[in-house]
Amino acid sequence: MIRSATRSDVPTILGFIHALAEYEKAPDEVKASEADLELHLFGPEPAAHALIAEDDAGTPVGFAVWYTTFSTWLAKPGIHLEDLFVSPAARGGGHGKALLVRLAQIAVERGYGRVEWNVLDWNEPSIKFYLALGAEPQHEWDKYRLTGEPLQRLGTA
């Protein structure tokens, strides 16, 4: 079962974020707190949305965090999938696909033009999974990030 996350899911979401960071070999990079997640997922101006995947017993086994983007070329909104994670014990049970199906449904229901995400180049199991769903890699684009001190410097110029 896939459902929209609620405020009461914040501790679970933070747990999934930490588990994802462990999987991606970056456990010390998580700076998120429950208060930050509650504010930005459920506050007065949510910056993102979350879905929860549950097993047959109603236990959360995975999550997806996404936000709306906009394509000027399509003149349509889209969905950027920030994180998708399924607990190792629940992998292979269709939860990851169900999360992506729900995101695709949201995009179609709302008339959005795309669903997109990033994947680490070494994450072969995920890459194979995404390709099997019909996703296409976008090799012509390089990702850039402005964060930390350079962001502060530019933002206060």
112 is an active site residue:
no
Identify any residues that bridge with 103 across adjacent strands, giving them in sequence order: none
What tens digit of pLDDT does each residue of 83-135 get? 999 999 999 999 999 999 999 999 999 999 999 999 988 989 999 999 999 99
Look at residue 143 in the predicted model and tell me its pLDDT. Answer: 86
DSSP conformation letters of 50-118: EEEEE-TTS-EEEEEEEEEEEETTTTEEEEEEEEEEE-GGGTTSSHHHHHHHHHHHHHHHHT---EEE-
Q: What is the rounded average pLDDT for all residues in the chain? A: 96
Domains of the chain: 2-155 (3.40.630.30)
pTM of the model: 0.92
Catalytic residue among 23, 112, 130, 144: 130
What tens digit of pLDDT does each residue of 57-74 get? 999 999 999 999 999 999
